[in-house]
Structure 1
Amino acid sequence: MAAARFKADDATGRPAALRHWIGSLGLDPAQLQAIPGDASLRHYWRLLNPPRIVMDAPPAVEDTLPFIRMAHRLREIGLRAPGILAADTAQGFLLLEDFGSLDLKGAIDLGTDPTPWYQTAIEAIVRMQAGGRAYHASPPLPPFDAARLKTELELFPDWYLQRHLGRELNAGERALLDEAFGKLIDNALAQPQVWVHRDYHARNLMCLADGEVGILDFQDAVLGPISYDLVSLLQDRYWDWPTDWLNARIQDYLSLARAAGLPVGSDVQFRQWLGRMGLQRNLKIVGIFARLRYRDDKQGYIEMIPRFWHYVLEAARQDPELAAFSDWLASLPQPENIACVP
């Protein structure tokens, strides 16, 4: 998509404020070019000379301090988060190091062998988890607690079942859902709690010239389940990886994690953690995509549901303790098998 020039006619007045701020830094606001957005309310711009990224995060909807803190923490433990070159937290403007435009999805779309980059991304997860355990963060990362997990899971019945499918749950279905949700929440809380990025996938990982991955979009980081970021990386919206390849990447993680002293348990235990964590996350995503369609009028996300629905069905089917829930999910109207879009 071609970059759009910075617009001067926004009714909120933010473009004028941002241009003024950029000019106060001795940079040329006429060079601002929009970077295509995503599901968030943030906006990003690129300055071409010198190469810089500008984040516009309206304070009414987002606090930039968690981003600033987490960028500092990741860099302190040796990971590649963008440097923060200037900040106006009152207005929600940040000037950031530019990692370029080649993210992991773009690299693989160009034909790059995915395995080395995924191994590097997995190594970065382990470094984040091990580094976070030794880092005394103040204030601490917010906990990924039962209330937060439950709120995320409720997006599925509220937005997908009721709003998208028009299905009102009867008492038996609600009880079945609550029982399954309870198991998923218990699974998350039973795992060792580590630093969790929460949106660790190919679009948020930049392929840097030195072979490292640059990590983006980490402002929602929490202290949470050790399996979360790995399942986020391996079950994304872009590709259906072969089972053998996925199993090899899980073993890559387990080998690195054990070498780093992380308490990942046995292979069997970790895979159960991973399966149920993926089920929780993907039920949430199905709900979020429906919410983006109906609340935020973002049309394309509904078309991405089939892949995540497949992840949901597979995780439930493979868990003996969720057999009744699995059968119920399979009885629901199935989303059409349309191709996912970037």
Structure 2
Amino acid sequence: MAPSPADTILWTDPQRAEVFRAWLAGIAPAQGLLPDTVRLASADASFRRYFRVDTTDPAAPTRIVMDAPPDKENSDPFVQVARLMTEAGVRAPTVLDWDRPNGFLLLDDLGRQTMLDVIDPARPEASRPLYDRAIEALVKWQQASKPGVLPPYDRALLERELALFPEWYIGRHRGIAVEGKLKERLERSFKLIVESNLASPSVYVHRDFMPRNLMVGNNGASGELGVLDFQDAVYGPVTYDIASLMRDAFLSWDEEFVLDITIRYWTAARKAGLPVDEDFGAFYRAVEWMGLQRHLKVAGIFARLTLRDGKPRYLADTPRFIAYIRATASRYNELTPLLRVIDEIEGTSAITGFAYGRV
């Protein structure tokens, strides 16, 4: 007899595997699940895994199971933000069952295709309808914002994120000591970046709002996008998620298209009454500086994923982030020290490009 899909899932903890099977069998009748069909759907940069399981319901033929070991992953924020998104009118997974002590969640299935899967990087015009849908979801999410609900994206968090770059990317990945002039230049640049980002008004921030985490479902560019991977959401700069969307970890666009979509978001945000700057030049500058924060953080995280967690595939995308950092740092005189650091550790030289806002 051929093994069932469930038999192919690898577990490092046999006891956890048994607890999972017992939980799934226990909820199967009420949820219409077929436990023998469970199989791996995806895994991400954290300790979470996702399984897909068939059901007896033709209207919802599959469900998703999240495996989030509670000693490594706290599922409370996922459940909270999923509810907030649904209340905001954003399509997010519904939590159908939650074994809180053991970290297993049953969710509805938003589909197999991400926005990244269907984008053609060579045809930006064809991708515009998808980005319009992404903007629509983002504006809904931000309109629902209230202070005191999500953790603040405050100075301490901004500084912790930036510290990942010198520790993991420069020190451990590149093997360069962060001291002397290099350290002084980084500290001076980081202070400017933090102050710029703290000056932006606050809204709900997804923190990974990018095509890889947006699901197109069965309706392609015309349907409402589903949103995933939102458990790290915070209350912080209105510039963050649009910076994340247009300066992606796995996809790069020409600046003309980045500007086009950013203007579309800015226009929609102003119409919705969101706290974006009335001057687009000032807003775009703030978006770039927020993006710079994200790029430095992610370069450090990708190095850490490789060196600490044994996930080398992420480091292959680091050159994209270094290019983002250099492009932004080259626009603003205040960031010349950061540009010199990047050129020193990467062995590159200054570049030119469009300039926006004051320098």
Same fold judged by TM-score > 0.5? yes
C-alpha distance in structure 2 between counterparts of 1:230 and 1:90, whole Å:
36
- Alpha-carbon displacement from aligned partner over 1:221-265 (angstroms, at most 9, x marks no partner): 000111101111111133221211111101101110000111211
Match of 2:74 in 1: 63
C-alpha distance in structure 2 between counterparts of 1:91 and 1:149, whole Å:
31
Alignment partner of 1:114 is 2:161: no
Aligned residues: 329
Note closer, same or farther for the CA distance 1:230–1:8 as it changes in structure 2 (3 Å cut): closer
Which stretch shows the higher mean deviation, 319-328 or 219-228? 319-328
Contact 1:232 1:278 in 2 (8 A): yes
Match of 1:333 in 2: 346
Contact 1:99 1:208 in 2 (8 A): yes
Which stretch shows the higher mean deviation, 100-109 or 198-207? 100-109
Alignment partner of 1:261 is 2:248: no
Give the one of 214, 219, 241 matched to 2:226.
214
Contact 2:145 2:204 in 1 (8 A): yes
Alignment partner of 1:236 is 2:248: yes
Give the one of 111, 127, 136 matched to 1:100.
111
Give the one of 84, 89, 99 matched to 2:100.
89
Letter in 1 for 2:326: L
C-alpha distance in structure 2 between counterparts of 1:168 and 1:309, whole Å:
18
Give the one of 193, 203, 207 matched to 2:202.
193
C-alpha distance in structure 2 between counterparts of 1:109 and 1:61, whole Å:
36
Please report how far the alpha carbon of residue 161 of structure 1 lies from its aligned counterpart in structure 2 after TM superposition.
0.7
Please report how far the alpha carbon of residue 5 of structure 1 lies from its aligned counterpart in structure 2 after TM superposition.
5.1
Q: TM-score, normalized by length of structure 1?
A: 0.91
Q: TM-score, normalized by length of structure 2?
A: 0.87
After the TM superposition, which residues 1-342 of structure 1 pair with which residues of structure 2 at under 5 Å, given as runs?
Answer: 6-7=8-9, 10-25=12-27, 26=29, 27-49=33-55, 50-108=61-119, 113-133=126-146, 140-210=149-219, 211-265=223-277, 266-334=279-347
C-alpha distance in structure 2 between counterparts of 1:326 and 1:276, whole Å:
13
Note closer, same or farther for the CA distance 1:277–1:110 as it changes in structure 2 (3 Å cut): closer
Letter in 1 for 2:45: A
C-alpha distance in structure 1 between counterparts of 2:11 and 2:344, whole Å:
50
Contact 2:70 2:103 in 1 (8 A): yes
C-alpha distance in structure 2 between counterparts of 1:155 and 1:80, whole Å:
32
Please report how far the alpha carbon of residue 154 of structure 1 lies from its aligned counterpart in structure 2 after TM superposition.
0.7
Note closer, same or farther for the CA distance 1:8–1:175 as it changes in structure 2 (3 Å cut): closer
C-alpha distance in structure 1 between counterparts of 2:107 and 2:165, whole Å:
35
C-alpha distance in structure 1 between counterparts of 2:122 and 2:16, whole Å:
39
C-alpha distance in structure 2 between counterparts of 1:331 and 1:269, whole Å:
30
1:218 alignment partner, SS class: coil
Contact 2:112 2:215 in 1 (8 A): yes
C-alpha distance in structure 2 between counterparts of 1:151 and 1:215, whole Å:
26
Letter in 2 for 1:80: R
Contact 1:7 1:15 in 2 (8 A): no
- Alpha-carbon displacement from aligned partner over 1:286-335 (angstroms, at most 9, x marks no partner): 11111111101112122111111100100111122112221232222259
C-alpha distance in structure 2 between counterparts of 1:180 and 1:7, whole Å:
46
Please report how far the alpha carbon of residue 12 of structure 1 lies from its aligned counterpart in structure 2 after TM superposition.
4.6
C-alpha distance in structure 2 between counterparts of 1:311 and 1:11, whole Å:
40
C-alpha distance in structure 1 between counterparts of 2:244 and 2:339, whole Å:
21
Contact 1:22 1:28 in 2 (8 A): no
C-alpha distance in structure 1 between counterparts of 2:143 and 2:188, whole Å:
33
Please report how far the alpha carbon of residue 125 of structure 1 lies from its aligned counterpart in structure 2 after TM superposition.
1.1
Which runs of no fewer than 5 residues in structure 2 stay unpaired? 56-60, 349-359
Which runs of no fewer than 5 residues in structure 1 stay unpaired? 336-342
Q: What is the root-mean-square deviation of aligned Cα atoms in Å?
A: 1.9
Which stretch shows the higher mean deviation, 220-229 or 14-23? 14-23
Identity %: 40
C-alpha distance in structure 2 between counterparts of 1:200 and 1:309, whole Å:
20
Match of 1:338 in 2: none
Contact 1:5 1:34 in 2 (8 A): no
Note closer, same or farther for the CA distance 1:19–1:109 as it changes in structure 2 (3 Å cut): farther
Match of 1:340 in 2: none
Note closer, same or farther for the CA distance 1:255–1:165 as it changes in structure 2 (3 Å cut): same
Which stretch shows the higher mean deviation, 169-178 or 84-93? 169-178
1:332 alignment partner, SS class: helix
C-alpha distance in structure 2 between counterparts of 1:110 and 1:275, whole Å:
21
Please report how far the alpha carbon of residue 9 of structure 1 lies from its aligned counterpart in structure 2 after TM superposition.
5.4
1:87 alignment partner, SS class: strand
